[in-house]
Amino acid sequence: MSQADLTMEGHSTGLTVGPAFSVPTKKLAMWLFIIADTMTFAACLVAYGFLRNGTPNWPRPFHSITNVALMTFILLTSSLTMLIGLRSARAGDKAGAFRWIMITATLGVVFALLHVREWLGLIDEGMTLFKNPWGTGLFGASFFSITGLHLTHVTCGIIALIAVGVRYKGGRYNADDIEVLGLYWHFVDLVWMFVVPLVYLLNLAH
Amino acid sequence: MTTVEEHKSDGIGKDLIVYICLLALAGVQFVIAYQNIDASQMFTRMLVVAIVEAGLAMLFFMHLWSEKRTFLWFVVIFTVSVLLGMQYGWTDSSRMVTGVPYSKVH
């Protein structure tokens, strides 16, 4: 039975054949992925919360908020540049959209580099997955797992931004694809809003 | 994917306002981190701010506000029920970590 037959039959019986919630399939798939990924991050963060709550000598190794504040600012700004890129794509400004997507990817790279710099600083101070000089060894495992998972998402996002941006410029993708990619990038930003208070700010050395 | 009307009516101004609100809320989290309160209070306050931030990002940056209401409710109800469902199992994890109330590991 063809799509046209299904549609005809749908009209005659009062049923309609079309994407669920009138949302295009690619966008719906991205939303379902985001919901699934929310569970992954929620599981990690809740497990981290229980560990932190149940461990008396939980380390508080962060002396400064400068780096994490800068990382937050950069990631939030990259969400704005992504939105501007989408607006340009919707307006048919291909060069502008490509430029803003590449700016977003660059901000993502800066975020990742700051993240790696922070990791290296902590490793220099003696922190590994299983031990650290400040308290329970569980801290290193949970810190590297959560921030590593987030950094992996950022890295995948950067690769996707470059790939989709180049294909959009080449005419193989359209503004809808930019919107779907934007959903992913904003999600990465959204997760960071929970990682920062739980993993960094609650562990500031006072 | 979104309507033409929406893109005509929504300017970059709204995005900028949401962006500034998100920056301000992130700033509030940093301020809370330096307040002289106990960890549980700090955690609660930060979590509330993070949830507001996430809501703003989902509604406006991810354009959930301009989607059909049925889809918006689908995402909200589905996500919240799964997250709440997860908590059902976490109480057991808590017991294993803290050894309370059923057993105390010495």
Reported ipTM exceeds the 0.90 cut:
no
Q: Is B1 within 8 Å of A69 when comparing Cβ atoms? A: no
Q: Which residues contact A78 (CB under 8 A, 6 or more apart)?
A: A104, A107, A108, A111, A185, A189
pLDDT of residue B81: 84
Q: Is A50 within 8 Å of B33 when comparing Cβ atoms? A: no
pLDDT of residue B39: 83
- Nearest beta carbon to residue B57 from set A43, A186, A202: A186
Average pLDDT along chain A, 206 residues, taken 10 residues at a time: 47 58 87 91 87 83 90 97 96 95 98 96 91 87 95 98 96 95 97 94 82
pLDDT of residue B8: 45
CA-CA distance, A101 to A109, in Å (whole number)? 12
CA-to-CA dists, residue A51 to A45, A199, B104, angstroms: 10, 12, 16
Ordered by start, the domain boundaries in chain A are 22-203
What residues 92-131 of chain A have any CB closer than 8 A to a CB of chain B? Answer: none
B53 chain-A contacts, CB cut-off 8 A = 190, 193
Asked if B86 and B69 touch (Cβ cutoff 8 Å), the reply is no
Residue A99: alpha-carbon gap to chain centroid: 20
pLDDT of residue B47: 92
CA-CA distance, B46 to A193, in Å (whole number)? 10
Q: What is the assigned CATH class of domain A22-203? A: mainly alpha
**What are the residues facing A62 on neighbouring strands?**
A204
Q: Give this prediction's pTM.
A: 0.85
